[in-house]
């Protein structure tokens, strides 16, 4: 047996162990890291919630339609709260690449917020509109703080 063969044979179990541990370590390290996509997902979910709430509010014309919109809005507010919790759980500050990309995508979010602000203002002017929104304030102030006209 040559020296290289002996070393290879002796180190083979150790080599396999290190390879396995390395794979496990790599898996653990990547699990602990937050991928940029997580930030983008929260951004997209928030924007989509704003759009859905806007869509629901466009259907509100009177107190009867306000009552019909209440359950739909409640569902969207729950989605918004869940997305906000996901966002709060992400490490701060986000990586520079994420900040840059979100800055580039911000016009779409600004448009969604502006559309929502318009609808909130429109519905508030309807008879019973202010009272309609008041019922949501204590529970879902996060969404309303973001879109106050």
> pLDDT tens, 98-148?
999 999 999 999 999 999 999 999 999 999 999 998 887 766 555 555 555
Same domain flag for 84 and 101: yes
Same domain flag for 89 and 56: yes
Same domain flag for 28 and 59: no
Q: Is the per-residue pLDDT at 1 higher than 80?
A: no
Q: How many domains does the chain have?
A: 2
Block residue for tokens 């966002």: 87
Tell me if residue 91 falls in helix, strand or coil: coil
Same domain flag for 70 and 106: yes
Tell me if residue 103 falls in helix, strand or coil: helix
Same domain flag for 54 and 119: yes
Same domain flag for 77 and 13: no
- Domain limits at 26? 1-33
pLDDT tens for 48-97 read 999 999 999 999 999 999 999 999 999 998 888 899 899 889 888 888 99
């Amino acid at each position: 047996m040559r020296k290289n063969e002996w070393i290879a044979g002796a180190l083979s179990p150790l080599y396999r162990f290190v390879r396995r541990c390395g794979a496990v370590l790599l898996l653990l390290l990547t699990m602990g890291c937050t991928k940029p996509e997580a930030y983008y997902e929260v951004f997209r979910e928030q924007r989509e919630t704003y759009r859905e709430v806007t869509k629901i509010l466009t259907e509100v014309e009177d107190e009867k339609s306000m009552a019909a919109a209440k359950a739909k809005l409640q569902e969207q507010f729950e989605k918004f709260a869940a997305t906000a919790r996901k966002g709060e759980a992400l490490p701060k500050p986000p990586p520079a690449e994420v900040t840059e990309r979100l800055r580039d995508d911000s016009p779409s979010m600004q448009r969604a917020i502006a559309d929502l602000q318009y609808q909130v203002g429109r519905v508030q002017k309807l008879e019973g509109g202010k009272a309609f929104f008041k019922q949501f304030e204590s529970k879902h102030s996060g969404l309303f703080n973001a879109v106050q006209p």
